[in-house]
Amino acid sequence: MVKAPACTFVIFGVSGDLAARKLIPALFELHREGAMHEDTQIVGYARRDWDDDELRTRMRDALIKYGHGDFDQALWDDLAPRLSFCQGNYEGGEGYHALANHLKSLSHETHLFYTATPPSTYESIANGLGQAGLNQSDARFIIEKPFGTDLESAKALNATILKNFDEEQVYRIDHYLAKETAQNIAALRFANTIFEPTWNSQYVDHVQVTMAEPMGIEGRGSFYEQAGVVRDVVQNHLLQLAALVATEPPASYDAKSVRDEKVKVLRAMHCVQVGDAVMGQYVSGSAHSSHQNSYRDEEGVDSRSRQATYAAIELRIDNWRWAGVPFYIRSGKRLVSKSSEIVIYYKTPPHVPFQFRKPPREDRIVLRLVPNEGISIRYNAKVPGQGISLNTASMDFYYNEQFKRRNPDAYETLLLDAMMGDATLFMRADEVEEQWRIVMPILNTWENANDEPAFYESGSWGPEEADDMLARSGRRWHAPQTESR
């Protein structure tokens, strides 16, 4: 069992949704598992006029509502006294001095600062901490996405942060990197010999990355109007998954080696057929037997909005391993189900010696993030009986069947890693900037055009145009599993 050294964990924006839904439940689980040091202190910082008791009551309520396991009163009684509140604004000055004094009274050397606040506050928090001298070498600055809104703003944000902290102190979150199945991509590729020899353009026809969600924008209309699907999930989660599939083997699994390799592959990655990228938007539907609004009817959304809630994009990677192999990535809100997966499609054999009516299907490796986390290998097998007739067979690995252990939530992994000082699963400045460089042509082309988005019905698999995009090269989207086993 890993146990992190003692620290003080400061949550900026502790009164917000992220703290209640993700951070406090994750810290509570780490406490339950004994991974968080018994001397670790948690400080909530917000503008609200709360005190320690109010913070504790709110966080207890949050745990009951959003906690991962059963709420355990004895465990809570143990943790609650280690929570304290510090009031202040984010603009700098007084609040940060109050925080500095508060931290002195808790007498830990290591301070972790987590920005669970609106992105517009990130720069002032970095500056405020710097001005209050809270950026000493054992401080860590953990920053949530979205990291900027385009390449220029991401560069400016990096510059401000790096004026106050060294890169080694900065932990940029992309929670997809901490999902068990995302980490398992490295294990599959680099801890085995059977996959890696075929993991290249000689054998792989193309790669698909899908992140589908049944939810709409969940009351985040004004955020989503600014962000859209490309800024919200393509620039970060989808590109990270594509990079994990495509990266070269690192010499060792540490922050520098892993991130060096990811940056190398991201530098070689670019969008092709930018004008053919499909930008879609959901319209009403009655999936899951309830009526669902059109995006344009959601609260906080312009009734003529062109914002994309769905995108399908073709990427290429110009390097020796991947030249000529399309990476198709797609994501959308209000699709059939919550399904995220990566599918490696292999080329068909150069010669098949059997006679049959239909040619055999391509072999596929399916890496499932959700539902049914696991891996399936789909291949052709002989159907029993006289003569040779082929059908698809499958070898399946399901995490929950193979390993009788709970999959930790991504935030548990990330918070523990940050406490341990391990930045392998966090993004480096150059990585984030490369990801913006990759999506900028898509954003610029779409934002400078006047076309209507490709509309799709809520509860479908997205616009027909996305099917056409693959059909043009004789391919089709993989149908993800939709039901949990």
Please report, as ranges, the residues that interact with ligand BG6 according to CB under 6 A. 175, 213, 232-233
Closest by Cα among 86, 238, 255, 109 to 170? 255
If the CB atoms of residues 250 and 408 are measured against ligand BG6, the closer one turns out to be: 408
| Residues 239/435, Cβ–Cβ less than 8 Å | yes
Question: Do strands 204-212 and 269-272 pair parallel, antiparallel, or not at all (unpaired)?
Answer: unpaired
- Closest contact distance (angstroms) between CB of 7 and ligand BG6 is 25
Of all residues in the shown chain, the one whose CB is closest to ligand BG6 is 232
Minimum Å gap between C-beta 17 and ligand BG6 is 11
Residue 55 tokens read as: 């913070």
Which amino acid does the sequence have at 209? Answer: V
Nearest to 95 by CA among 133, 46, 50: 46
Residue with smaller CB distance to ligand BG6, 232 or 341: 232
Tell me if 19 sits within 8 A of 52, measured CB to CB.
no
Q: Tell me which amino acid residue 470 is.
A: L
**Is there a contact between 292 and 342 (Cβ–Cβ < 8 Å)?**
no
Catalytic residue (choose from 108, 175, 206, 237) = 237
Shortest separation between residue 68's beta carbon and ligand BG6, angstroms = 13
At its nearest, how many Å lie between ligand BG6 and the CB of residue 379? 29
Closer of 31 and 175 to ligand BG6 (Cβ): 175
Residue among 213 and 363 whose Cβ is closer to ligand BG6: 213
Residue 432 CB, nearest approach to ligand BG6 (Å): 14
- Which residues partner with 8 through β-bridges? 41, 111
Confirm whether 237 is a catalytic residue.
yes
For ligand BG6, give the closer residue by CB, 124 or 407.
407
Q: Which one, 233 or 246, has the nearer CB to ligand BG6?
A: 233
Q: Report in angstroms how near the CB of residue 416 gets to ligand BG6 at its nearest.
A: 17
First to last CA, the chain: 29
CB of 409 to ligand BG6, least distance (A): 9
- Tell me which residue has tokens 């993989």: 478
The rounded distance, in Å, linking the Cα atoms of 327 and 317 is: 8
Nearer to ligand BG6, 213 or 434 (CB): 213
Active site residues: 237
